[in-house]
Amino acid sequence: DIQMTQSPASLSASLGETISIECRASEDIYSNLAWYQQKSGKSPQLLIYAANRLQDGVPSRFSGSGSGTQYSLKISGMQPEDEGDYFCLQGSKFPYTFGAGTKLELK
Amino acid sequence: EVQLQQSGPELQRPGASVKLSCKASGYTFTEYYMYWVKQRPKQGLELIGRIDPEDGSTDYVEKFKNKATLTADTSSNTAYMQLSSLTSEDTATYFCARGTHWFAYWGQGTLVTVSS
């Protein structure tokens, strides 16, 4: 199975700060990478798919980049509503696998 | 509007089985795989497996092969997951999700609590 290594495990950001979260795959996943936000008690919400495509309705301060085995999610200007857990998902090869998650808090 | 409506919370005894449901609406049920995902309290997400509602074929993650059974009823546009021989390790929220290479639509989740 493809292993997804996500970092950091937790992050504290100030209002307006730009932050990045990384996911590294154990093999090439050909940009079949999605990013999710999950708030407590809720279902994950798709933010980015195909590594860099913004899901409809997601604020443009979210962006994704990467290729091959290295991918990142950037939030350009932290907002209070961005607090939550963030996960990556590789959809290249079954079984699809998730990163362990990043807990993002407002400082 | 695509919606996945999951069944309500379950409290089960160790050793019991439980069957969860996920009713799909707003799209053609047979055109997309349905995936099931496990999330233990305060932990990450694990894929359990998927079913193709068109022909009922299934793929399971190895660790869930003797735990979960996926089925689908095309007459009611509902996917099901049965979990057997429940233990405390099965206490979790279970999500269904419509997918291709990623999941744009998720159910609201079903909390299964295993306790004596």
Interval A51-86: pLDDT, tens: 999 999 999 999 999 999 999 999 999 999 999 999
- The yes-or-no verdict on residue B81 having pLDDT over 90 is yes
- The yes-or-no verdict on residue B12 having pLDDT over 90 is yes
Q: Which residues contact B38 (CB under 8 A, 6 or more apart)?
A: B45, B46, B47, B48, B92, B93, B94, B95
Q: What average pLDDT does range A76-100 have in this prediction?
A: 97
Interface contact flag, A98 B106, Cβ < 8 Å? no
Q: Distance (Å, rounded) from C-alpha B56 to C-alpha B72? A: 7
Select the residue of B44, B100, B106 nearest A101 (Cβ to Cβ): B44
Q: Which of B24, B4, B80, B70 is nearest to A43 (CA)?
A: B4
How many CB pairs (< 8 A) connect A and B?
A: 53
A19, containing H or E segment: strand A18-25
User: Backbone dihedral region of A106: left (phi > 0), alpha (psi from -120 to 50 degrees) or beta?
Assistant: beta
**pLDDT, tens digit, for every residue of B29-60?**
999 999 999 999 888 899 999 999 999 999 99
Interface of B with A in 1-30 (CB under 8 A): none
Note the maximum CA span of chain A. Answer: 38
Interface contact flag, B103 A44, Cβ < 8 Å? yes
The pLDDT value given to residue B43 = 85
Q: Which chain B residues have a beta carbon less than 8 Å from that of A95?
A: 47, 49, 59, 61-62
The pLDDT value given to residue A47 = 98
Q: Which residues contact A58 (CB under 8 A, 6 or more apart)?
A: A46, A47, A48
The more confident residue out of B17 and B100 is: B17
Peptide bond into A8 cis (omega under 30): yes
In total, chain A counts a number of residues equal to: 107
- The yes-or-no verdict on residue B64 having pLDDT over 90 is yes
**Residue B100 pLDDT class (50, 70, 90 cuts):** confident
With b meaning 16 or more CB within 10 Å and e meaning fewer, what string describes A67-90?
eebebbbebeebeeebbbbbbbbb
Q: What average pLDDT does range B66-75 have in this prediction?
A: 97
**pLDDT, tens digit, for every residue of A6-28?**
999 999 999 999 999 999 999 99
Q: Which chain B residues have a beta carbon less than 8 Å from that of A10?
A: none
Note the maximum CA span of chain B. Answer: 40
